[in-house]
Every structure is written in C-alpha cells, then in structure tokens.
Homo-oligomer: A and B are copies of this chain.
C-alpha cells in the first residue's frame, strides 16, 4: 500500500460509519472515482461552497495543531453554508501535503475534520490527496435548504443581495475574539481564552437555521471582519448601513484585555464566523432566541459617499480604525 492509499484508508475508516463506503447499491462513498449520494425527494435545491486554507496564509503550524487545521478546514465551510440558512450534508476534501508528512499527522488532520462533522453535521464522502510543499486543504461542502411549507419548490435561502432600506442589522455572538486570539498567539501567549477561539472557531449552523426559519432573507458570515463583510452586504444589496458602535456585541474579557482597542478589534477582526444579517423586526425571531442576537444598526437608502456610517449612542459620527483582515 503506498502512502496515498494509506491516507485514503484513514479517511475511509473515520467516516465509513456515517456513510456507506463503496459497493452500496444506492450510494458510494470514498474509494471510487466519484462519490454518489441520494437526494431526498423534498429537496429541490442544493447549496454548495468551497473554502481553502493554506499553511502560512490561514494557519501557522507554530500555533495550530494538525487537529486544529482539520477542524478549521471543515468549519469555514459549515459557516458559509450557515450564512445561507443551509444544513451541511457532504464534504469533498482536497489535501495538499508535503512528502515528509507522516501517517500519524494525517490521522490528526482527519480527527479534526471528523470532530467538526460530528459537532455540526455532514460527512466526508470523497476527495483527493496530492503532494504539495506547503499544506493546503480545500473543502467543498454540499448542503440542503429547508422547505418552508411542504411545497417542493419552496426551499429558501438567505442571500447577500436581499437587504432592504429600513431593515435592522443583527449579529450573533460577539466580535473581535478571534483577532485577539491571533494577536496573543503572535506574541507567544498560547494557552488562553482567545487563542482557543481562534484555533477552534464555531460555525453558527443552528443560528442560520433559526434565522432562515424566522423569515430572515439576508445574511453573510463574519469571516473577514464586521466592517469588511458588512460592506459586502451593503454593496450586494445596494444599501447603506448605520451602525451604533456602542451596540456592537463585545465580550467583557476583550474589553478588559484590550481596553484601548476593543472597538476597533470588534470592527476589523476576521474569522469570528458569527452571522451578520438583516431583518424587518426583531420580533420575527422566537422569544427565546432574541437574547442570542444583537441589533447593531439599520440599513438605509444607499448613500453614494459611504457604505457604512458609524455613530455612537449620542449620534456622534465616529471613524474607527479599520484594518483589513488579510487572507490574500
């Protein structure tokens, strides 16, 4: 058995209980040229996304274990599906790995992927393993949309293009923690609350379903930072955002640890993987879910000068320092 075959066996073993391997009459998993899956008859639309992570660009093995890397490769895609309001079903994983990689390394990578699948849904059904100087993992995730009311044509999704003037802007969780984690890791502070968040981000799959079920029509995940992703939402929907900076959800620990910069960090920091969405009224959301999201502003008719206007509660216009979160 060559090294590639060994690696395929490791993935096959990890996921074979969740999906038939080859030789099933109806479905075919890892081990053939392609995988085959059945489509539930109630589903008429599928959702597909791809996110790649590269050593040196998206993670540094000084701070990330291979299990962290495997985890991250899956959750960045779960987050993209979550932002559409979609349930993750299947993953195809393409791994570029160096010649000196060892079997135990590949097991750790697979373990991280499996943990993310178990926690947030979906199963690896195929992929490719190729030689590469630096590690890259490109995952394509396939999800399905929920049916809003029994009619097969009625599957619905949240899109970037659907924000309207008058909509409230909401966000799940709190912002800036992942950036804090990365900054502390870069300073050599390894074991702390923030660095754990940076290394093992949580995709908001359940939030995405809660939102789409409540009739939310527009959403994006915060992968490049609030400022950057809100700009994308505004551009795609042709609206301007008014954000009340005092309402941005910020973890108390972030305020304490970074007393001079927590607001800028919450506005610029990427990879929080929270969901940023707009809705007609907070009362669209179920009573017990309302507490888990924060309204941070409102969309208005497009203003040619600005995509986003930041104010405080006293309506003073602010100019927070925005730093581009760079993957590229």
Within 8 A of B (CB), among A13-32: 22-23, 26-28, 31-32
* Cα–Cα distance between A179 and B26 once the two chains are bound (Å): 36
Complex interface: stretch among A128-136, A166-174, A189-197, A251-259? A128-136
Partner of A221, one of B33, B90, B138: B33
Q: How far is the CB of A103 from chain B (nearest CB, A)?
A: 14
Decide if A22 touches B236 in the complex (CB within 8 Å): yes
Within 8 A of B (CB), among A38-52: 38-39, 41, 43-52
Decide if B236 touches A159 in the complex (CB within 8 Å): no
Q: Could you give 10 example pairs across A and B, Cβ below 8 Å?
A: A22-B161, A23-B161, A31-B236, A36-B84, A36-B157, A39-B39, A48-B140, A50-B128, A50-B140, A54-B96
Number of copies of this protein chain within its complex: 2
Residue on B nearest A157 in the bound complex, by CB = B36
Within 8 A of B (CB), among A171-205: none
A142 CB within 8 Å of chain B:
yes
Q: Which B residues touch A27, using CB under 8 A?
A: 45
* Cα–Cα distance between A35 and B145 once the two chains are bound (Å): 12
